[in-house]
Amino acid sequence: MIAIFRYPKREQWKELMLRPSIENALIEPEVAKILLDIKQNGNEAVRRYASIFDVVSLGKFQIEAEDLRTKAREVDSKLAEAINTAYSNIEVFHKAQLHETTFIETMPGVLCWRKGIAIERIGMYIPGGTAPLFSTVLMLGIPAKIAGCKEIILCTPPNNDHSIHPAIAYAAELIGIEKIFAVGGIQAIGSMAYGTTEIPKVDKIFGPGNQYVTCAKQLVSKEGIAIDLPAGPSELAVIADESCNPEFVAADLLSQAEHGIDSHLILVTDYENVIQQVMLALEKQLAKLSRREIAAKVLKNSKVFLVKTIDEGMDLINLYAPEHLIISCRNDEEIAEKVINAGSVFLGNYSPESAGDYASGTNHTLPTNGCANAYSGVSVDSFLKNITFQKITKDGLKNIGETVELMAQAEGLDAHKNAVRIRLS
Amino acid sequence: MIAIFRYPKREQWKELMLRPSIENALIEPEVAKILLDIKQNGNEAVRRYASIFDVVSLGKFQIEAEDLRTKAREVDSKLAEAINTAYSNIEVFHKAQLHETTFIETMPGVLCWRKGIAIERIGMYIPGGTAPLFSTVLMLGIPAKIAGCKEIILCTPPNNDHSIHPAIAYAAELIGIEKIFAVGGIQAIGSMAYGTTEIPKVDKIFGPGNQYVTCAKQLVSKEGIAIDLPAGPSELAVIADESCNPEFVAADLLSQAEHGIDSHLILVTDYENVIQQVMLALEKQLAKLSRREIAAKVLKNSKVFLVKTIDEGMDLINLYAPEHLIISCRNDEEIAEKVINAGSVFLGNYSPESAGDYASGTNHTLPTNGCANAYSGVSVDSFLKNITFQKITKDGLKNIGETVELMAQAEGLDAHKNAVRIRLS
């Protein structure tokens, strides 16, 4: 069912690694029109589209604090405990991403420093639909809290009864998100980008979504609203040698395959037998899955590569730049040193991707579609600006002054030179 | 000549802080057409547009190593020394931005870490025209080298004789940039985004440019090529109390004003007399500038605000989110603690913006157009991906397993649960 490529030539790699192209051009004009309407007509427009797209007619968009608390209490104690554990691990890992401000005297009297300051207002979009992604509430909300964002708002599509999934309510309450709005899709992105009488404008928008949400995020980012990452379908690459457990490899591939029919998978190995055994395991495990139809479609579009060496396999993987990479090899730590392009990496036979999706502590909002070549996943950094500061004394300016004057003059910028000259004369 | 606003009401602030809007919609279709042509026809298209836009007919685009060395030697010794000093300060400040990898055991047996890995191939665009921006070569090249980028290429528009400015050659040689291409404008951005037979494709594009370059960067970023920052005209805000030196303030405002007619300035003070004296100083200094016509136009579009207190002034400045902020106040350090939105901040009477533009050590590639509310200036981080890793032991998976299974189940993702179950059973 999966296409197998044995010892493909290097000159073919680039083409073999191509993802299906994502075509937004068709929906872009429609999305742009709706965003402009929201920009101009605010809440009235948001309400109009909510009734068209979500077929609901709501009172206020904001969910009452009391309703939120009631919903949160519906989470059973075992799930609550699991969410608490995940919270704690994510918090511990992300807290270590905060850096002390370092003061550097680059020359005597020239003191420079860089300080991380929280983005004031952030918005997160949590998709509705079949799977209530409360894990994403944790993955975005915890680093936002650690960074110190003053205002965190959350938009998620309304259910028919204007309620919210208990686990989302529970996660939001843990983080302390008080402003939750039952607004979905393009309307949610437009509201957070421009602000309406009900929904506050934010400085940066985070979170996954369908192609309309993705397109809307891309369009508002052109207007100066920051967004977390260019979005694309989820991906997994597994590199495995003979020490791997084919049942585990198959389970990991399927966990990625169940996300959605546009998910993307590759398996790279230097051992023919791994291919055979993984194939058998896939068939066996697939039959038992509730989302087997989705997973089967994904497998059909997936690729297996047999390579001469694991080193060569890593070259192939770095070219692919996967969102997730599992290294199921004997010397996993040594191979991990060769990773150049990936979002998050899982080492050894007991590090399934799903551990990172939920609870190991790393973030699950990661670069997709090959963007791992230049983008990082979400971290506390994503919720901060690093502002630079400098304080120069009169003597410091004497030390640096001639350098500045000469360079300004060579660039033909008189007034830049004069700003130093006037202070020293 | 500057518009003065005395004690404006808070409800007016937002409107008063508006920048002139940047309208790319008109040029976008033309820029998109040229980019598509370059994507499809590569070098031939680049060469065609070079002959149309730059009215030059070149042999190879790449400047020969020998020519580069010859040019670099034309820099006089005093300027060379100034560039060396700037290099050293920028290097010292940026090297401190590298972080050690921290390993965190979030739970027993669950080890997570985050490692900064250089973006492999970066491209920088250095505009041509009247001012040879060799300082930008340093500001982009030095952090790229510190990060460890393997390939750094530089595109800059050709002169008539296919030569390069000596100071640009000198700066490039110091950094060790070997691939310099005499290609400008949209062609340069397209070449670096898609790659041609002569110019390599890069993973991320940096550098300033005119509205065509800016639009081209924005368009290729939609296709997954990372870019440094959304670009806009340069800006300066000065906040000054009675302790300021009005001559210095005027000199700083003018150093910003000479950049280009679209530069943007604001002065905020709590002391009427500062306004009068700065106005007088501006008039006096302006007359002596070589670029006085540009500067005069910028002053006409600039604004001065008289506020009740410096604290209120900082609220106004945080709303404006300036690229550069000079704090010319007695208690500058205390006021600097109130900065929320700014690119780079200059404290006291002896820290002119031009020091940071060239040589204090901080970066001069900064967020503009209000983006300082959510974006940071260029730093070593801009040339790195932070990749997360996790290695879980069998016992570690036992510790975390139930948490993952319960959360996966609650999100309706069977196969995610199964990837843990299969390992533990």
Minimal CA separation from A380 to chain B, in Å: 11
For the cut 90, the answer to whether the pLDDT of residue B122 exceeds it is yes
- Min Cα distance A3 → chain B (Å) is 22
Most confident of A163-167, B259-263, B409-413: B409-413
Q: Which one of B327, B383, B389 makes the best mutation probe of the A interface by having the most chain A beta carbons within 10 Å?
A: B389
Rounded Cα gap, residues A408 and B132, in angstroms: 10
Of the candidate ranges A48-57, A328-337, A388-397, B404-413, the one whose mean pLDDT is the lowest: A48-57
CA distances from B327 to A307, B173, B227, B335 (A): 60, 36, 30, 8
Interface contact flag, A386 B407, Cβ < 8 Å: no
Q: How far apart are CA A126 and CA A27, in angstroms?
A: 21
Confidence at A58, pLDDT banded by 50, 70, 90: low
| A350/B394 Cβ within 8 A | yes
Please determine, for residue B189, whether its predicted confidence score (pLDDT) is greater than 80.
yes
Q: Is B323 helix (H, G, I), strand (E, B) or coil?
A: coil
The predicted structure's pLDDT at residue A212: 93
Q: Which of B227, B206, B91, B102 is nearest to B146 (CA)?
A: B91
Question: What is the overall mean pLDDT for chain B?
Answer: 94
Q: CA–CA separation, B181 vs B135, rounded Å?
A: 18
Of residues B324, B364, B405, B411, which has the active-site annotation?
Answer: B324
Residues 6 or more apart whose Cβ sits within 8 Å of residue B86: A403, A407, B135, B138, B358, B359
Is residue A131's pLDDT more than 70? no
Spatial neighbors of B256 by CB under 8 A, at least 6 apart, are: B234, B235, B236, B263, B265, B298, B324, B353
Catalytic: B323?
yes
- A contacts of B96 (beta carbons < 8 Å): 102, 104
Distance CA A372, CA A267 (A): 18
Instruction: Check A120 against B340: CB less than 8 A apart.
Output: yes
List all residues 6 or more positions away from A125 whose beta carbon is below 8 Å from its beta carbon: A154, A155, A156, A188, A189, A192, A205, A206, A207, A208, A209, A213
Question: CA-nearest residue of chain B to A396?
Answer: B350
Do B82 and A406 lie within an 8 Å CB cutoff? yes
**What's the pLDDT band for A56 if we cut at 50, 70, 90?**
low
**In chain A, what is the straight-line distance between the N-terminal and C-terminal CA atoms, in Å?**
79
Per-residue model confidence as pLDDT tens digits over A218-272:
999 988 899 999 888 999 999 999 999 999 999 999 999 998 888 999 999 999 9
State both tokens at B82: 């100034």
Judged by DSSP in three states, B137 sits in: helix
Model pLDDT, residue A54:
74
Asked if A133's CB is within 8 angstroms of B248's CB, the reply is: no
Q: Are A154 and A172 in contact (CB under 8 A)?
A: yes
Residues of chain B numbered 260-289 and touching chain A (CB < 8 Å): 285, 288-289
CB burial readout A260-280, b (16+ within 10 A) else e: bebbbbbbbbbbeebbebbbe
Distance of CA B373 to CAs A122, A203, A303, B20, B377, Å? Answer: 11, 7, 43, 18, 11
Nearest to A18 by CA among A26, A27, A8: A8
- Nearest C-alpha neighbor of B65 from the set B201, B169, B183: B169
pLDDT tens for each residue of B231-262: 889 999 999 999 999 999 999 999 999 988 88
Give the nearest partner residue to B423 out of A86, A350, A400, using CB atoms.
A350
Mutation pick from B256, B349, B379, B416 vs chain A, by most beta carbons of A within 10 Å, is B416
Tokens of B48: 């065609």
Test B411 with A134 for CB contact under 8 angstroms.
yes
HEC-encoded secondary structure of chain A: CCEEEECCCHHHHHHHCCCCCCCCCCCHHHHHHHHHHHHHHHHHHHHHHHHHHCCCCCCCCECCHHHHHHHHCCCCHHHHHHHHHHHHHHHHHHHCCCCCCCEEEEECCEEEEEEEEECCEEEEECCCCCCCCHHHHHHHHHHHHHHCCCEEEEECCCCCCCCCCHHHHHHHHHHCCCEEECCCHHHHHHHHHHCCCCCCCCCEEECCCCHHHHHHHHHHHHCCCEECCCCCCCEEEEEECCCCCHHHHHHHHHHHHCCCCCCEEEEEECCHHHHHHHHHHHHHHHCCCCCHHHHHHHHHCCEEEECCCHHHHHHHHHHHCCCEEEEECCCHHHHHCCCCCCCEEEECCCCCHHHHHHCCCCCCCCCCCCHHHCCCCCCHHHHEEEEEEEEECHHHHHHHHHHHHHHHHHCCCHHHHHHHHHHHC
A89 contacts B416? CB cut-off 8 A: no
Q: A293 in contact with B at a CB cutoff of 8 Å?
A: no
- Min Cα distance B118 → chain A (Å) is 8
Q: What is the pLDDT of residue B146?
A: 98
Within the 10-49 window of chain A, which residues sit less than 8 Å (CB to CB) from chain B? Answer: none
Give the tens place of pLDDT for each residue, B64-97. 889 999 999 999 999 999 999 999 999 999 999 9
Unique residue bearing structure tokens 């709303």: B319
Q: What is the rounded CA–CA span in Å between residue A5 and residue B287?
A: 72
Distance between B20 CA and the closest CA of chain A, angstroms: 13
Q: Do A204 and B374 touch (CB under 8 A)?
A: yes
Taking the C-alpha atoms of residue A421 and residue A404, their distance in angstroms, rounded to an integer, is 10
The Cα A347–Cα B201 span in angstroms is: 31
Looking at per-residue confidence, does A128 or A45 come out higher? A45
pLDDT reported for residue B57: 65
* CA nearest to A368 within chain B: B224
pTM reported for the whole predicted model: 0.96
Candidate from A295, A347, A374 with C-beta closest to B385: A374
Given this model, what pLDDT does residue A400 score? Answer: 98
pLDDT greater than 90 at residue B15: yes
Can you tell me the distance from the alpha carbon of B409 to that of A371, in angstroms, rounded to the nearest whole number?
30
Residues of A in contact with B388 (CB under 8 A): 343-345, 356, 362-363, 377
DSSP B123: E
Please say if the pLDDT value at position A57 is more than 70. no
What is the edge-to-edge ordering of all strands in the sheet holding A151-155? A179-181, A151-155, A121-125, A204-206, A226-227
Provide, as residue numbers in chain A, all residues whose Cβ is less than 8 Å from the Cβ of B357: 404, 408, 416
Please name which of B381, B349, B350 lies closest in space to residue B365, comparing C-alpha atoms.
B381
Q: What is the pLDDT of residue A130?
A: 61
Mutate to test the interface with B, among A31, A83, A256, A403 (most CBs of B within 10 A): A403
Q: How many Cβ pairs within 8 Å bridge chains A and B?
A: 415
Mean pLDDT to the nearest integer, A188-212: 96
Per-residue pLDDT, B186: 96
Q: Is B324 a catalytic residue?
A: yes
Q: A411 vs B224: CB contact, 8 Å cut-off?
A: no
Judge: B389–A345 Cβ closer than 8 Å, yes or no.
Answer: yes
pLDDT at A59 over 90: no
Instruction: Report residue B311 as tokens.
Output: 């604290």
Burial class (CB in 10 A: 0-12, 13-18, 19+), B334: exposed
- Catalytic residue selected from A94, A259, A324, A364: A324
The A residues from 364 to 383 touching B (CB cutoff 8 Å) are 367, 369-377, 379, 381
Instruction: Pick from A72-81, A289-298, B21-30, B229-238 the range whose average pLDDT is largest.
Output: A72-81
| pLDDT at residue number B131 | 67
Strands B384-392 and B110-118 come out as: antiparallel
> Exactly one of A173, A235, A323, A353 is catalytic; which is it?
A323
Which chain B residues have a beta carbon less than 8 Å from that of A85?
Answer: 107, 400, 403
Contact at CB, A420 and B230, closer than 8 angstroms: no
Q: Does any CB of chain B come closer than 8 Å to the CB of residue A77? A: no
Q: In chain B, which residues have their Cβ closer than 8 Å to the Cβ of A102?
A: 96
A55, pLDDT greater than 90: no
Structure confidence by residue, pLDDT tens digits, B353-366: 999 999 999 999 99
pLDDT tier for residue A71 given thresholds of 50, 70 and 90: very high
Is there a contact between A217 and A190 (Cβ–Cβ < 8 Å)?
no
Question: Among A247, A289, A418, whose Cβ lies nearest the Cβ of B415?
Answer: A289
Beta-carbon count within 10 A of B403 CB: 25
Q: How far is residue B10's CA from residue A224's CA, in Å, rounded to a whole number?
A: 23
Q: What is the three-class DSSP state of B372?
A: helix
Share the mean pLDDT of chain A.
94
Strands (E), B215-289: 226-227, 235-240, 264-269
pLDDT at B120 over 70: yes
- Residue A190 reports pLDDT greater than 80: yes
Q: What is the ipTM of this complex?
A: 0.96
Cβ-nearest to A388 among B252, B255, B362: B362
Question: pLDDT, tens digit, for every residue of B20-73?
Answer: 776 777 899 999 999 999 999 999 999 999 888 876 666 788 998 899 999 999
Contact of A392 with chain B, judged by CB distance below 8 Å, is answered with: yes
- A396–B352 C-beta distance less than 8 A: no
Q: Give how far B332 is from chain A: nearest CA, Å.
A: 9
Q: Between B360, B391, B414, which is nearest A110 by CB?
A: B360
Express each pLDDT in A319-352 by its tens digit. Answer: 999 999 999 999 999 999 999 999 999 999 999 9
C-beta of residue B349 within 8 angstroms of C-beta of residue B333: no
Question: How far is it, in rounded angstroms, from Cα A83 to Cα A271?
Answer: 39
Q: How confident is the model at residue A129 (pLDDT cuts 50, 70, 90)?
A: low
Mean pLDDT value of segment B371-399: 98
Q: Does A331 touch chain B (CB under 8 A)?
A: no
